[in-house]
Structure 1
Amino acid sequence: MLPGVEIEFQNGQLGTVTDRPDGVFGVLASAIAVSTTFLLEKAYEVKSMLDVAALGILPSVGNYRLYKFCEEFYNESGEGASLWIMGFDNTDKVSDFFTPDVVTQKTPAEKLLDAANGAISGLFVSFDPANTYVPVITTAIDADVIAALPKAQLLADNYTDKEYAPFFVYLEGYAFSGVKSDLIDLTTLEFNRVGVLLGDTIPKTGNPASKGAAIGVLAGRLASKAVHINPGRVRDGAIKPTTAFIVDVPVELYDIASLHDKGFVSFRNHKRKTGYYLTDGPLACEVDDDYHFITHRRVIDKAYRLAYDALVEFTLDDLDVNPNGTIQALSASVIEQAVIAKIYSEMTVEGELSYNPSESSDRGVICKVDLAQNVTSTSKIKIKQLQVRSKAYARFIDVPLGFVPITSNN
């Protein structure tokens, strides 16, 4: 080769992201079919707005909200994030997405989950009903959203038990009246896999008008971050949209604290910071529920998936046992270490769990097999302890500010 200068073009410097296995999300959306490229009740996986355009989903009247969701999602997550889309007739209500068919007993949402083979860890709803739809406002938002909460929770619980593929759901606080005092208090409920977002990037009476929420922003922010990171973390920067409204009121002029206190996710600003931020990531359950916040929900769900992946390898494996049928300590240790190594390498090392690096035995995860279980007679290994150590979050910072006292020189 002749002497000279070789310049190599670098790639991957423009915010494009690789697919995060724990950031694979799905959207259930009111939509209209587009020729043969986008059919209703059929699952599609996209990884960019180019893929969205290829389906024929454009910001037209029928698919405006779905397009808006996708655009705001990729503005936050970056190109490359995996998003599963399923469109439904605009006569379907939100609760319909989570209502089992009387014959198959499968919900429409389950079709999307199955198509993704359990990869989806979060579901979001983009609701854009027909013009004839009249929401019934009972607690300041569409009563059908409230009706969807227990149905979404039941599906998430059942699917986790059956398919070992846990996920959470976020709904829009559709048709919010703006009367904060009338809002249902989500912190009195028990749905620790379902949350509700209030607030949009366009006003209710704008052109186009909006009765929904900018749920694509929340989805994109979560998809772009590790499971332990709060979607409202300030040092991650403001959300991409430069406008945010509660009904027709700019976020900075609305009493956002009242929405937060009732367990809703919304948008806010911070003094002397440019742009808007998400308030937090609560789910519709009591504050003292271990999984009230989406960070804890995502952390434990990821640990669940990893533990399953490690333990399923021991299915029908032969084990050494003691004369009384209990598992030998060495065989138990092999199982324990497989789980610990899996979670440690894919969570603790990635900064998603707390641990003390100065302690060689601390992995941020504890796994213990029950040595008293008679495996010979029951054919069952019992894990008596599996725990991970979560991160803590600085929701409040107390500062005693004053002058340095003057000391005497005498």
Structure 2
Amino acid sequence: MGLSNVRINLINGNLGGVLSLNDGVAGLICTAVAVSGKVDLGVVRRVCSLLEAQTALGIEKSGVNNHMYGLIKDYYDGVGTNTPLFVLPVSDTVKMSDMLDKDQPYIEALIVASSGDMRLLGVSKCASETDVIAEGLDEDVALAMSKGQASFEKYRASMRPFRFVVDAKSYNGNVADLKDYNDCSINAGSLFLTSKSGEANSRIGLLLGALSKQPVQRKISRVKNGAVGITYDPYIGNQPVEVVRDDWDTLHDKGYIFLRSFPGKSGYFFSSDRTATAANDDYASLSNARVIDKAVLIAYSTYVNELGEEVQLTSDGKISPPVVKNYQGMIENAIRSNMNESISNVTAEIDPQQNILSNNQMVVSLKIVPVSYLGEIVVNLGFDNPNTK
């Protein structure tokens, strides 16, 4: 028999005392240039504002590390100051697929530096004219997504889950070329496809900051969140967002997140919080994914204290009803106390007939009813003549 532990298995396909959980702690891995006494490649730095990053890392808008500066500025424009961001600068030989590789040291370094609290991760490599384009983007993008999913599975198993955002860089502007991620099962990561004029990198700091700011159940595309705080015109490829309006539906349907606008409203908003998977996947949105991550950690924290505990059985060797009720109530109360506004309901079920005497294992079925969202509002509008009634 293996070492005592609490294992949480995620169930997919079912949708058709307060813990201190840092839901919005983010990490960033990006291309940088070493600067003596400031930027040490491969070394994680914790910052809490753009000003602190400028001081600690010596970065500025027009300096050699302007790429890192732009990412961090966008992040803090979205989340505000006094929010920790763990930054890992790497050389330009490190690809995004390397950054997200479970066998490389980068993710582990961020998780260790954040004491296991990192729940969000963004990766970006400086775009280059030598980037090889495949399926409309730098060919490394698709591999990075696959690597990120594998890393998520690895760290989720050790109760250190995170969701990731990849820079959909070097877009060739042809929406028909883009990979359709509905055919994939990458429900731990998202692709952001919005840049500035003249830049081939997407501004993933905007997305990362928005995720850090909002509670886990809240969609970043919620209009009441307000417009994204940018002072530049957003581009998709080499065209302004508005010019490629006819591509929006296709971009969304293929699983990409981008900035969009609404007639009559000023500013720009996130198109969705899609992950790179089929639309009917339970975790096809970052909001659902982050909710389940939080529930996983609460379930673990609740039950880990019970390992090795004596369990009273009935005369026929089954779990006694009071024990069943106690363990069901324990997890339901913990989830409700910590996630009251993040979910609609939670139910725990324990089969008292399971043979705990033989295998020393108790299986708990935990079912969460998420909140729902208004994705579309249909208004049937017409004239009315009261005299005809």
Give the structure-1-normalised TM-score.
0.85
Indicate whether 1:183 and 2:175 are aligned.
Answer: no
Whole-Å Cα distance in 2 between the matches of residues 36 and 319 of structure 1?
57
- What is residue 220 of structure 2 aligned with on the other side? 231
- What is residue 111 of structure 1 aligned with on the other side? 109
| Distance verdict in 2 for CA 1:258–1:375, change over 3 Å | same
- What is residue 16 of structure 2 aligned with on the other side? none
Report deviation, 1:106.
Answer: 4.5
CA contact under 8 A between 1:57 and 1:67: conserved in structure 2?
no
Moved over 4 A (4+): none
Listed as ranges, the gaps of 5+ residues in structure 2 are 1-19
Match of 1:342 among 311, 319, 334: 334
Task: Provide the identity percentage.
Answer: 28
Give the structure-2-normalised TM-score.
0.90
Q: Which moved more, 1:57-66 or 1:273-282?
A: 57-66
- What is residue 172 of structure 1 aligned with on the other side? 167
Whole-Å Cα distance in 2 between the matches of residues 257 and 20 of structure 1?
36
Report deviation, 1:20.
Answer: 7.2
- What is residue 269 of structure 1 aligned with on the other side? 261
Q: Which moved more, 1:55-64 or 1:328-337?
A: 55-64
- What is residue 369 of structure 1 aligned with on the other side? 350
- What is residue 8 of structure 2 aligned with on the other side? none
Match of 1:196 among 175, 184, 191: 191
Whole-Å Cα distance in 2 between the matches of residues 21 and 72 of structure 1?
21
- What is residue 153 of structure 1 aligned with on the other side? 149
Higher relative contact order (CA 8 A, sep 6+): 2
Match of 1:332 among 324, 329, 340: 324
Larger radius of gyration: 1
Report deviation, 1:321.
Answer: 1.9
Whole-Å Cα distance in 2 between the matches of residues 61 and 142 of structure 1?
25
Report deviation, 1:218.
Answer: 0.6
| Distance verdict in 2 for CA 1:325–1:301, change over 3 Å | same
**Root mean square deviation of aligned Cα:** 1.8
Whole-Å Cα distance in 1 between the matches of residues 318 and 39 of structure 2?
56
Whole-Å Cα distance in 2 between the matches of residues 186 and 114 of structure 1?
31
- What per-residue deviation string (whole Å, max 9, x for no partner) do you get for residues 349-373 of structure 1? xx2112xxxxxxxxx1111222122
CA contact under 8 A between 1:142 and 1:176: conserved in structure 2?
yes
Whole-Å Cα distance in 2 between the matches of residues 57 and 265 of structure 1?
31
Whole-Å Cα distance in 2 between the matches of residues 222 and 387 of structure 1?
25
Match of 2:361 among 347, 368, 380: 380
- One-letter amino acid matched to 2:121: L
| Distance verdict in 2 for CA 1:29–1:66, change over 3 Å | same
Whole-Å Cα distance in 1 between the matches of residues 84 and 104 of structure 2?
24
- What per-residue deviation string (whole Å, max 9, x for no partner) do you get for residues 276-331 of structure 1? 11100111111111111111111111111111111111111222222333322212
CA contact under 8 A between 2:98 and 2:104: conserved in structure 1?
no
Report deviation, 1:99.
Answer: 2.9
Report deviation, 1:197.
Answer: 0.6
Aligned length: 366
Listed as ranges, the gaps of 5+ residues in structure 1 are 1-18, 355-363
- One-letter amino acid matched to 1:375: I
What SS does the corresponding residue of 2:385 show, helix, strand or coil?
A: coil
Indicate whether 1:80 and 2:76 are aligned.
Answer: no
CA contact under 8 A between 1:326 and 1:372: conserved in structure 2?
yes
Report deviation, 1:55.
Answer: 1.9
